[in-house]
């Protein structure tokens, strides 16, 4: 459907890739850990290795949680747009097929948040 | 009050005729469609504008008389409250944070409502709705002004209220109410009337004003109680206008039904999402509570709204489908919202805290299905960590919903352990949503919502730093720059209530008020 | 039958109005909350000018209700003598 309007109604999207100074947006959520109230939004260069996201960025964002230090990354399950997905840690975001405004989540089996409450 | 009742020359019905239709005229040298260019493009068909009637039959002369009386009462109380340092009688200084949220989040919407009803009134070819919209437009600017006057008294003593208008256009969580109203005023006049006049005023504002304002009274804030109830006395008329609009449009042409139903579905959900802030005010921010958000929802939406939609069934209108989702959220909404502000307490223009033990027990009693299982462990963990000097401040920006602009904090309907993710591909780009309803709203008018000014994305684009900022300079601190852009003073307006300047001042002043120094 | 309601500020202006409503609507339930009174009634509720005038000892214009009105629900019909709230279904 289209907007009911008195004339032509066409506008630029506010969040086109070229507005982010060479970065693209990536959203990352940690399943079963709602102490972090919502998934995070990050601006990353598409050339950034996936490993750098996990090892250099995520500790600053999720490290407050006592479960974070217990994560076994080899066991982590990943999802992209809700579908099972396997990242290659040594490839870049672009090489992993991640595009502007993609959303990924990870689940860490055995870790269910504060007192098992998914917090 | 001692009001003289003048001897009537005309009965109410005749006077209404004379003072509405009687003031209208048929244009002779301009075409009607040139005078009212916005009356038809939304697809709503009106055949006879004279079928419109205001059931209160209020006319401008009576309007001025009663509004003047309301203003006299209101300002007498506000003055007395200020003269008597009434702010020291509130239950505790945490309460004042509700007022901060109200002034920055709601009062600017009153002003936008003033503009919106002035525009809608001008656009309608009928004299009846034009007069009713004129009155409502004047009411709304009165609300903006009285709220600003009443709350300016708090600004003399407490932090975070100093630049509410500037903040409203910039601060991340205020983009939620702002974008809601901007969405409504950029729609056509009929959609605006259904959005604000019906869905917001009739279906939802009782939840904003009645339990919240009654709660203000219960917490000793006579100033807020007074402006709140004074505003609400106009709301009764607004609600009536909202209901009449719906009935009038539906009676005019059967083709109007699907359009109106879609607007009701959209705007009930949009308005409900904005009320997330109210849910959290009621359950977490009022030190003394009158009723829970869930109870208020049950009384004012499920019971009263249920009666309303049953009544409208004769026109073919049905209860908005989102009501089912909302019913599943009512045990969780306020807890998830407050947790979000606790996360981002460093970037809010008010203070946050973990509820005390007795407060948690109250929440557990009001929310037996959810509080102890999902939310108490989270809050207790935060409290323990804060006691150890490790208060949680989330420093990474959240993902936002493209439609309601709220962080993606809502959980799957029926599963409070999973964040609800929805997405759409549109013209080669991805868009994300907190719910099926926000997604459907986008899908119906994607051209509108691709323009959303999402605060998180704008920060990353570099649009939210003070003018002249060089983000490439050595040691650049983006969060500090964003707070400067918001006019939010770090360490004073934000962070935990415990240890805040507000807390210290309130204790000091209250001490002075109750004994000789 | 659905419930209609009217909510008024709790003050000296409204005390006789609430009394009048209670007397004229035996089915009404009066609920007191901080600073306000909410009156619920099944299906229909009528506010009568004459009943209010009997209690305040002066003339009363039903539109004076607006000054202390907080909220209401139902379809409204107002004449010089009565204000009625009702649901059709």
Please name the member of A1, A82, A102 whose beta carbon is closest to the beta carbon of B430: A102
CA distance C81 to chain B (A): 10
- Residue of chain B with shortest Cα separation from C12: B1
**Residue B80 token pair:** 């007395």
CATH number at residue C33: 3.90.56.10
Give the residue-averaged pLDDT of A72-100.
98
Contacts of C80 in chain B (CB under 8 A): 8, 11-12
CA distance B154 to chain C (A): 21
Contacts of B232 in chain C (CB under 8 A): 69-71
Helices B107-123 and B96-105 pack at an angle, to 10 degrees, of: 30
Contact predicate B426/B450, CB 8 Å: yes
Number of domains in chain A: 1
**Residue B471 token pair:** 């983000």
- Partners of C5 in the beta sheet? C40, C73
Task: For chain B, list the domains and their CATH numbers.
Answer: 32-161+170-467+474-508 (1.10.620.20)
- Contact (CB<8Å) B431/A101: yes
Q: Does B239 touch chain C (CB under 8 A)?
A: yes
What is the residue range of C45's domain?
A: 3-86
- Residue of chain B with shortest Cα separation from C53: B5
Give burial (CB, 10 Å; 0-12/13-18/19+) of B358: exposed
- Residue of chain B with shortest Cα separation from C6: B236
Cβ neighbours around B480 below 10 Å, total: 11
Contact predicate C17/C52, CB 8 Å: yes
Q: Does C17 touch chain B (CB under 8 A)?
A: no
**ipTM of this predicted structure:** 0.98
CA distance B478 to chain C (A): 45
- Residue of chain A with shortest Cα separation from B449: A13
Contacts of C60 in chain B (CB under 8 A): 5
Contacts of C76 in chain B (CB under 8 A): 55-56, 240
Whether A38 is covered by a domain: the verdict is yes
- Contact (CB<8Å) A103/B447: no
- Contact (CB<8Å) A119/B451: no
- Tens digit of pLDDT at every position of chain B (517 positions): 566 665 657 888 899 999 888 999 999 999 999 999 999 999 999 999 999 888 888 899 999 999 999 999 999 999 999 999 999 999 999 999 999 999 999 999 999 999 999 999 999 999 999 999 999 999 999 999 999 999 999 999 999 999 999 999 999 999 999 999 999 999 999 999 999 999 998 888 888 877 778 888 899 998 888 888 888 889 888 988 899 999 999 999 999 999 999 999 999 999 999 999 999 999 999 999 989 999 999 998 999 899 999 999 999 999 999 999 999 999 999 999 999 999 999 999 999 999 999 999 999 999 999 999 999 999 999 999 999 999 999 999 999 999 999 999 999 999 999 999 999 999 999 999 999 999 999 999 999 999 999 999 999 999 999 999 988 899 899 999 999 999 999 999 999 999 999 999 999 999 887 777 6
Q: Which residue is it, tokens 């089915």?
A: C27
Q: Which pairing describes strands A102-107 and A24-30: parallel, antiparallel, or unpaired?
A: parallel
Beta-carbon contacts of residue B363 (< 8 Å; ≥ 6 apart): B283, B292, B335, B355, B371, B375, B376
First-to-last C-alpha distance (Å) of chain B: 41
Q: Does B311 touch chain C (CB under 8 A)?
A: yes
Contact predicate B231/B212, CB 8 Å: no
Contact predicate A96/A57, CB 8 Å: no
Contacts of C7 in chain B (CB under 8 A): 210
DSSP state of B354: P
Per the document, the length of chain B is 517
Contacts of B334 in chain A (CB under 8 A): none
Contact predicate C38/B290, CB 8 Å: no
Q: Does C57 touch chain B (CB under 8 A)?
A: no
Tell which residue, A71, A67, A76, A74, has the closest CA to residue A105. A76
- Contact (CB<8Å) B399/A64: no
Tell which residue, B329, B330, B333, B334, has the closest CA to residue B284. B334
Contact predicate A3/B445, CB 8 Å: yes
- pLDDT of A61 reads 97
For testing contact with chain A, the best of B388, B394, B415, B439 (most A CBs within 10 A) = B394
- pLDDT of A108 reads 98
Beta-carbon contacts of residue C62 (< 8 Å; ≥ 6 apart): C47, C49, C78, C80, C81, C82, C83
Q: Which residues of B369-383 are buried (b: 16+ CB within 10 A; e: fewer)?
A: ebbebbbbbbbbbbb
- Cross-sheet strand order for the sheet of C75-78: C44-48, C82-86, C75-78
Whether A6 is covered by a domain: the verdict is no
How far from chain centre, in Å, is Cα B372? 29
**Residue B488 token pair:** 């939010």
- pLDDT of A26 reads 98
* Calpha distance B81→B325 (Å, rounded): 42
Beta strand spans in B220-379 (E): none
Contacts of B454 in chain A (CB under 8 A): 14-15
CATH number at residue A49: 3.10.20.560
- Tens digit of pLDDT at every position of chain C (89 positions): 789 999 999 999 999 999 999 999 999 999 998 889 999 999 999 999 999 999 999 999 999 999 999 889 999 988 899 999 999 87
Tell which residue, B160, B399, B279, has the closest CA to residue A101. B399
Please name the member of B12, B217, B311 whose beta carbon is closest to the beta carbon of C89: B311
Whether A93 is covered by a domain: the verdict is yes
- Contact (CB<8Å) B58/C60: no
What is the residue range of A43's domain?
A: 18-116
Give the residue-averaged pLDDT of A73-79.
97
If residue A88 lies in a helix (H) or strand (E), which one and from where to where? Answer: none
Number of domains in chain C: 1
Contact predicate B293/B96, CB 8 Å: no
The angle at the Cα of B327, spanning B323 to B331, to the nearest 5 degrees, equals 150
């Amino acid at each position: 459907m289209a907007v009911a309007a008195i004339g032509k109604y066409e506008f630029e999207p506010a969040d086109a890739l070229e507005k982010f100074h060479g970065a693209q947006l990536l959203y990352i959520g940690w399943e079963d850990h709602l102490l972090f109230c919502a998934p995070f939004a990050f601006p990353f260069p598409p050339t950034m290795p996936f490993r750098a996201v996990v090892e250099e960025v995520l500790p600053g964002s999720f490290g407050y949680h006592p479960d974070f230090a217990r994560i076994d990354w080899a066991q982590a399950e990943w999802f992209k747009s809700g579908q099972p997905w396997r990242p290659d840690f040594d490839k870049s975001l672009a090489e992993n097929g991640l595009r502007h405004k993609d959303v990924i989540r990870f689940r860490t089996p055995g870790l269910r948040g504060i007192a098992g409450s998914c917090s | 009050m001692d009001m003289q009742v003048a001897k009537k020359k005309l009965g109410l019905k005749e006077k209404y005729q004379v003072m509405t239709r009687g003031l209208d005229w048929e244009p002779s040298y301009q075409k009607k469609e040139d005078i009212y260019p916005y009356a038809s493009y939304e697809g709503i068909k009106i055949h006879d504008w004279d079928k419109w009637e205001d059931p209160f039959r209020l006319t401008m002369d009576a309007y001025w008389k009663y509004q003047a009386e309301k203003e006299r009462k209101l300002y007498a109380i506000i003055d007395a409250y200020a003269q008597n340092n009434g702010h020291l009688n509130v239950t505790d200084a945490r309460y004042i944070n509700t007022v901060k949220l109200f002034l920055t989040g709601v009062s600017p919407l009153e002003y936008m409502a003033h503009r919106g009803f002035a525009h809608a009134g001008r656009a309608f070819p009928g004299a009846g709705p034009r007069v009713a919209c004129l009155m409502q437009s004047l009411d709304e600017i009165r609300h903006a002004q009285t709220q600003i006057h009443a709350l300016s008294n708090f600004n003399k003593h407490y932090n975070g209220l100093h630049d509410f208008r500037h903040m409203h256009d910039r601060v991340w969580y205020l983009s939620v109410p702002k974008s809601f109203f901007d969405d409504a005023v950029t729609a056509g006049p009929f959609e605006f009337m259904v959005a604000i006049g019906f869905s917001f005023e009739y279906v939802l504002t009782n939840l904003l004003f009645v339990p919240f304002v009654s709660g203000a009274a219960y917490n000793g804030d006579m100033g807020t109680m007074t402006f709140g109830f004074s505003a609400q006395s106009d709301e009764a008329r607004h609600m009536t206008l909202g209901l009449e609009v719906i009935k009038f449009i539906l009676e005019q042409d059967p083709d109007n039904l699907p359009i109106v139903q879609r607007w009701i579905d959209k705007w009930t959900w949009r308005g409900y999402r904005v009320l997330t802030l109210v849910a959290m005010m009621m359950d977490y921010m009022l030190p003394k509570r009158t009723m829970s958000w869930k109870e208020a929802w049950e009384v004012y939406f499920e019971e009263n709204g249920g009666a309303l939609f049953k009544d409208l069934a004769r026109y073919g209108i049905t209860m908005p489908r989102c009501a089912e989702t909302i019913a599943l959220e009512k045990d969780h909404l306020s807890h998830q919202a407050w947790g979000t502000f606790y996360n981002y307490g460093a970037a809010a223009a008010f203070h946050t805290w973990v509820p005390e033990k007795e407060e948690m027990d109250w929440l557990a009693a009001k929310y037996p299905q959810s509080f102890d299982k999902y939310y108490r462990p989270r809050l207790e963990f935060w409290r323990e960590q804060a006691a150890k000097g490790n208060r949680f401040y989330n420093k990474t920006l959240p993902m936002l919903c493209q439609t309601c602009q709220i962080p993606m904090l809502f959980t799957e309907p029926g599963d409070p352990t999973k964040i609800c993710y929805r997405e759409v591909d549109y013209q080669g780009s991805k868009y994300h949503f907190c719910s099926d309803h926000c997604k459907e709203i986008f899908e119906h008018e994607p051209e509108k919502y691709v323009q959303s000014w999402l605060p998180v994305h704008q920060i990353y684009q570099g649009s939210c730093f003070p003018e002249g900022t060089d983000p490439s300079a050595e040691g650049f601190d983006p969060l500090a720059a964003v707070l400067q852009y918001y006019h939010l003073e770090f360490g004073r307006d934000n962070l935990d209530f415990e240890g805040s300047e507000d807390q210290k001042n309130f204790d000091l002043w209250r001490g002075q008020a109750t004994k000789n120094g | 039958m659905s419930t209609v309601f009217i909510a008024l500020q709790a003050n000296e202006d409204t005390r006789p109005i609430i009394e009048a409503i209670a007397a004229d609507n035996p089915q009404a339930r009066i609920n007191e909350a901080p600073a306000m009174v909410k009156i619920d009634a099944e299906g229909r509720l009528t506010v009568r000018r004459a009943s209010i005038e009997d209690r305040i000892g002066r003339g009363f214009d039903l539109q004076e209700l607006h000054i202390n009105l907080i909220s209401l629900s139902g379809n409204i019909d107002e004449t010089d003598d009565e204000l009625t709230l009702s649901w059709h279904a």
